[in-house]
Amino acid sequence: MITAFMNMKGGVGKTTLCVHLAGTAASNGKRVLIVDYDPQYNATQHLMPAKDYFPLKEERKTIYGVIQPKSMAPSPFEVDISPRDVRPPPLSEVVYHLFNVRSRGGVIGTVDLVPGSDELMYLVLGRTDKSTQPMEERFHSFLDEANRSYDLVFIDCHPAGSFLTKSALLKTDLVITPVVPDSYSGRGVVLMREFLDYLAKFRKDRPDLKIVFNCIPYQNRDIPLEQGIRNTKDLKAMFVESVLHESGILAKAGRIEGHSWRRVMQWSKKPWSSRVKRQLHEIYKEIFEG
């Protein structure tokens, strides 16, 4: 199953939700692959040590190397599109193993990563007079292999409409859109729905949409505002009932600052981590097992 994490509005915790739902899925026995398809590559920076990342980037073992032939050097001004080879590299060449989730009986789930790259920005901003179809075909072929090899494929998309987001959504079964309880979120949700409606021109069906309230404050929670957003026309049924409260620990649960996903989300018995784990499991169960 291929799931895209996307919102046209930034700053809603898209990457954080993607990363932690991946870990939650692994703790429920799933093999999960995160594909960092955002030019900001925050998921990669969050999860990979720099000493591991930069050698892989030099070797083009990133998502950029998946959609662009190795012979092509990135340019901020022109997008070089070659139709001569639409075959992506094998999955094994670009996948970076992040962690296993273990129980007393051994490994029950795993999370891997296709590292991102800021070089994707060249493809978003650069000019070309050619179709981007060769790059899309490489990406889609790569996703097909990933979908055969993993239970869940999570694509962390960037918060803008471009051929990157279009190419991701063309292969997506499900879109998860996090929103925060503010006056701008309602419009962001509508824009997301409009973008999915536009996809009808390019695919016969449309991906399912699930909307998750994220970063809910524990104090001074604005219930009327949340309900107003939940009651957005034609979107009521797409909102997930479970919510994720704001928690500073979620931003630190990668390998940065001495924290690790396993330490915080699997081994920790502290009340705050138990609460976060419970909410993530509720969201996971509602979306993927509901």
CA-nearest of 113, 144, 146, 124 to 68 is: 124
Tokens of 78: 């022109």
| pLDDT at residue 84, as a whole number | 57
pTM above 0.85?
yes
Alpha carbon separation from 56 to 15, 16, 21, 38, 226 (Å, rounded): 21, 23, 25, 17, 43
| pLDDT at residue 174, as a whole number | 96
DSSP string for 36-52: EE-TT-HHHHHHS-HHH
Tokens of 131: 């179709």
Backbone phi and psi for residue 252, each to the nearest 5 degrees, phi listed first = -110, 5
| pLDDT at residue 66, as a whole number | 92
| pLDDT at residue 71, as a whole number | 60
Tokens of 123: 């493809």
Give the domain range for residue 100.
Answer: 2-288
Burial profile 227-241: b = 16 or more Cβ within 10 angstroms, e = fewer: eebbebeebeebbbe
| pLDDT at residue 256, as a whole number | 42
| pLDDT at residue 197, as a whole number | 81
| pLDDT at residue 258, as a whole number | 42
Q: Which residues of the chain have pLDDT under 50?
A: 256-259
For residue 77, the domain's CATH number is 3.40.50.300
Q: How many separate domains does the chain show?
A: 1
| pLDDT at residue 259, as a whole number | 46
| pLDDT at residue 173, as a whole number | 95
| pLDDT at residue 105, as a whole number | 73
